[in-house]
Amino acid sequence: MHIPTLFFLVFFTFLSCKNPKPQPTATVIVHGGAGYINTELMTQEEEDGIRKAIEKSLQKSHQHLADGGTSVEAVQIAINILEDSPYFNAGKGSVFTSSGTNELDASIMNGQNGQAGAVAGLTNIKNPIDAAIAVMEHSPHVFMIGKGAEEFAVIHGLDTVPQTYFYNKDRYKEHIEGLSEDRSKFGTVGAVAIDHNGNIAAGTSTGGMNNKRFGRVGDVPVIGAGTYAENGVGGLSATGHGEYFIRNVATYDIAAQVKYGNTTLDEAGYNTLMKKLKSQGGDGGVIGLDSQGGVVIHCNTVAMPRGYISSKGEAVVMIDME
């Protein structure tokens, strides 16, 4: 190579290592599940539906924060909108179990006080994230499952729906035919928000994995696996092959690198998703905000619908990872 060019490249590389690109900061960030369907494989209608729902979720949640709302409320607002959309594997768009039923899981964590709530195996609650919040705010417990969780949600005034509410032609086809490798997706939804007091919250909601055995619970309602938040450290929500996220205690693994090591949340997310899980064959992604609102996005599959509201109030929405 031409010597001055080589010198320039080495010098430039040195400079860029010394001055890493500043991370964008945000008040709220959401994801709509990692997977192998990128925009090339989507219909225009599907892509538009996903983008619009993410944008709406970000804007409503951001507006709530701007009006002085808390980060837990902002996460709830963001997730409710995605749960009500048929394009994501959570709430309305949940996948089917191998028995043709729907079993929904969700969790929330409040980084201000370390409180958390989670539910698993819900069959008739419209918005599982609301049930997780009810467990956190109105019970001495963290994790409730099945009938007991449903009864608790109803006592706290949450909306119920018949199982037919979750019927969706495309999801049912995926249940009958199974997912091909290159069209597989997870579709879970999650959100992380930071409010005007600097309090961070994270939440995640899912229908689980297509054709999971009934009774199977994934990482989403497991605090420290699918969801984690701690003021001063950050907030995280994951999506992907849940068993790997549970075995690696993935979101806490990321937080712990920041807490006990000298790592940024972004580097820690990279280490866990792109090195550790990837080397094990654990497909998935994670979104987060560090304690200053720094955006964290890592995913080892080809696509993960996601977006954040920048500190200037603009919605940035992306689907493909490349």
Q: Are 202 and 111 in contact (CB under 8 A)?
A: yes
In angstroms, give the least distance from the CB of 227 to ligand ASP. 11
26-31 and 143-145 as β-strands: parallel, antiparallel, unpaired?
Answer: unpaired
- Binds ligand ASP by CB under 6 A, chosen from 27, 38, 76, 89: 89
Q: How many residues are there in the chain? A: 322
- Rg, the chain, Cα only: 19
Residue number, 153 or 209, with CB nearest to ligand ASP: 209
27 catalytic per annotation? no
**Per CB under 6 A, which region of 7-15, 106-114, 122-130, 181-189 contacts ligand ASP?**
181-189
Q: Give whole-number Cα distances, 56 to 82, 117, 208, 308, in Å.
A: 9, 25, 24, 11
Q: Is residue 107 a contact point for ligand ASP (CB under 6 A)? A: no
Q: Cα 149 to the chain's mean position, in Å?
A: 22
Q: Closest CB to ligand ASP belongs to which residue? A: 242
Q: For the chain, first and last CA: distance in Å?
A: 29
Q: Is residue 305 a contact point for ligand ASP (CB under 6 A)? A: no
Packing angle of the helix pair 128-138, 146-155 (nearest 10 deg): 80
Whole-angstrom Cα distance, residue 316 to residue 59?
Answer: 11
- Binds ligand ASP by CB under 6 A, chosen from 91, 121, 187, 224: 187
- Binds ligand ASP by CB under 6 A, chosen from 69, 91, 117, 208: 208
Site string for ligand ASP, 211-250 (x = CB under 6 A): -------xxx------------------xx-x--------
- Binds ligand ASP by CB under 6 A, chosen from 168, 206, 211, 301: 206
Residue number, 124 or 188, with CB nearest to ligand ASP: 188
Of 188, 204, 227, 301, the active-site residue reads 188
C-alpha triplet 252, 51, 162: angle, nearest 5° = 75
In angstroms, give the least distance from the CB of 9 to ligand ASP. 40
Residue number, 65 or 236, with CB nearest to ligand ASP: 236
In angstroms, give the least distance from the CB of 298 to ligand ASP. 14
Q: Is residue 294 a contact point for ligand ASP (CB under 6 A)? A: no
**Per CB under 6 A, which region of 75-83, 107-115, 180-188, 274-282 contacts ligand ASP?**
180-188
**Per CB under 6 A, which region of 112-120, 121-129, 186-194, 308-316 contacts ligand ASP?**
186-194
* SS3 label, residue 240: strand
> Which residues are CB-neighbours of 181 under 8 A, at least 6 positions away?
36
Token look-up 């539910």 returns: 119
3-state secondary structure 169-195: HHHHHHHHHCCCHHHCECCCEEEEEEC
- Binds ligand ASP by CB under 6 A, chosen from 186, 228, 252, 308: 186
In angstroms, give the least distance from the CB of 218 to ligand ASP. 2
Q: Is residue 33 a contact point for ligand ASP (CB under 6 A)? A: yes
Count, residues near ligand ASP per rule CB under 6 A: 14
In angstroms, give the least distance from the CB of 219 to ligand ASP. 5
Q: Are 102 and 96 in contact (CB under 8 A)?
A: yes
Task: Specify the long-range contacts of residues 153-158, CB closer than 8 Å, at least 24 apart.
Answer: 153/119, 153/122, 153/125, 156/131, 158/125, 158/126, 158/127, 158/130, 158/131, 158/134
Binding site for ligand ASP (CB under 6 A): 33, 89, 186-188, 206, 208-209, 218-220, 239-240, 242
Task: Give me the active site residues, please.
Answer: 188
